[in-house]
Amino acid sequence: MAINIIKEKCIGCGLCFKSCPKDAFYFEKYDGNKLGKVAAIGPSCDFCNQCLTSCKFGAIEEKKIEVQADLSEYKHVWVFAEQRHGKMMNVALELIGEGYRLAKEISEDTQVCAVLLGDEADIDPLVDECFAYGAEKVYKIASPVLKNYTTDGYTFALKEAIDQYKPEIVLYGATHIGRDFAPRIAARCNTGLTADCTRLDVRVSSYIEYTSKNTTLDTSTLDPNDPSTGIKQTRPAFGGNLMATIVCPRTRPQMSTVRPGVMQKREPVAGAKGEVVEVKTTVSDKDIHIKIKDIVKSTKVMVSLTDAEIICSGGRGLGDPSGFELIKKFADKVGGVVGSSRAAVDAGWIDHSHQVGQTGTTVKPNIYFACGISGAIQHLAGMQTSECIVAINKDADAPIFEVADYGIVGDLYKVIPEIIAEWDNAEALYDASTK
């Protein structure tokens, strides 16, 4: 996209100057109005569009630019290896595994590359972890100004690296950080971004597919300017009621954010090695418009649903918020964490950090207990890939039973205490057998 000045409508009032945070406007001579000048856009414009509503005369418009990248210049799969204070986010390791699969399906010489941004002391120990989980190359973008995440700093540094090395695909975790700066990178690269993907597949262009098979199909309707292999990016749409598959045929890199817990991590290979590329960045304090004065960590207990092996979730069937006391007791007994449906969160029974589902956290535990949860499609989208699903519900026709491995039709307030009692008996028998 671009900003265009309609000179015939511009009166040279300068209102757009005040609205622009980048000071991108300047005046140029024009004989078509009384002041003899009109506004013009300079190179510092980053298309934030704040000027569109500032002009009272309709002299500023958004103009779509048709972009056709030279697709042959772009190669390899990049994964933004998100880290916070020297700790790798789990979703980054999942995406390295997914990126490895995509890379090898595209071609044998396509590599999966991890991109680490941060302070040297924080990211240097993470290089070997990236290699262990499947990265074949690691790009290190180190700078003291990148120690703490800022939208400006990370965007500036990663955009520099993309311009220099031209990856074909860039994957981000759909975390608070990934969702914040991935759209900015995409906008500055004049490419698309598919958010909250749940599936990625390799796509071969129709033109290549048909012509390579020497078929007699009429290829006049196919696009010869789409010679590349790309990816099909699938995400939930319309509240999760259908899945949309999106392609990016004309621009590069192809970009996606992927929800944590959706993709499968590869088994780590201890001692795995690869190529390390030190990327020099010119990012500095003057490029960062927000200054971090202090970082205050939350004092409340944070719920780690993504990494949990057992999750005990409660829903509207609990009846009231006191029901989560039983769910908490259940989770403590089986060594799990407490989850919830959106209905319970919306009712104010439990904090949003416990929510599982499309608008909460996507999880993939070994065991998922769904207690009093009917199984709305938005909730199923966030937990149906669990290894084992146990559903407890009074309604025998509840949709949750369609995805459950084990279903118990009954009152959860009677069923759960029985499970806890049986768990105690099993533990006692185990202790006795080991003595």
pLDDT in tens, 49-96: 888 888 989 999 887 655 566 778 899 999 999 999 899 999 999 999
Q: Among 20-34, 38-52, 222-236, 247-261, where is mean pLDDT lowest?
A: 222-236
Could you tell me the CATH number of the domain that includes residue 95?
3.40.50.620
Mean pLDDT computed over 155-170:
95
Do 84 and 43 share a domain, yes or no?
no
Do 107 and 192 share a domain, yes or no?
yes
Q: Specify if 298 maps to a domain.
A: no
Q: How many domains does the chain contain in total?
A: 3
- Confidence check: pLDDT of 208 > 60: no
CA separation for the pair 318, 237 (Å, rounded): 29
Do 366 and 396 share a domain, yes or no?
yes
Which structural domain range is residue 114 located in?
71-214+224-287
Do 120 and 265 share a domain, yes or no?
yes
Q: Among 175-184, 355-364, 390-399, where is mean pLDDT lowest?
A: 355-364
In sequence order, which ranges of 189-341 are alpha helices (DSSP H)? 206-212, 323-334
Pairing outcome for strands 87-88 and 83-84: antiparallel
Do 385 and 364 share a domain, yes or no?
yes
Which of 26, 23, 2 lies closest to 12 in space, CA to CA?
26
pLDDT, greater one: 42 or 93: 93
pLDDT at 421: 92
Given a contact cutoff of 8 angstroms between Cβ atoms, the answer to whether 80 and 236 are in contact is: no
Q: Specify if 293 maps to a domain.
A: no
Given a contact cutoff of 8 angstroms between Cβ atoms, the answer to whether 391 and 400 are in contact is: yes
CA separation for the pair 353, 344 (Å, rounded): 12
pLDDT at 304: 75
Given a contact cutoff of 8 angstroms between Cβ atoms, the answer to whether 337 and 356 are in contact is: no
pLDDT, greater one: 380 or 205: 380
- Confidence check: pLDDT of 357 > 80: yes
Do 260 and 401 share a domain, yes or no?
no
- Confidence check: pLDDT of 397 > 60: yes
Report CA torsion sign: 367, 370, 374, 378. negative
Mean of per-residue pLDDT scores for the chain: 87
pLDDT, greater one: 251 or 312: 312
pLDDT at 42: 84
CA separation for the pair 262, 172 (Å, rounded): 13
Q: Specify if 83 maps to a domain.
A: yes
Q: Specify if 346 maps to a domain.
A: yes
pTM of the model: 0.67
E strands, 322-373, where? 337-340, 367-371
- Number of Cβ within 10 Å of residue 183's Cβ equals 16
Mean pLDDT computed over 325-337:
94
Mean pLDDT computed over 35-53:
85
Percent of the chain with pLDDT over 70: 90
Mean pLDDT computed over 37-50:
84
Calculate the dihedral angle through the C-alpha atoms of 165, 171, 175, 181, rounding to the nearest 10 degrees. Answer: 40
Do 242 and 319 share a domain, yes or no?
no
CA separation for the pair 177, 339 (Å, rounded): 23
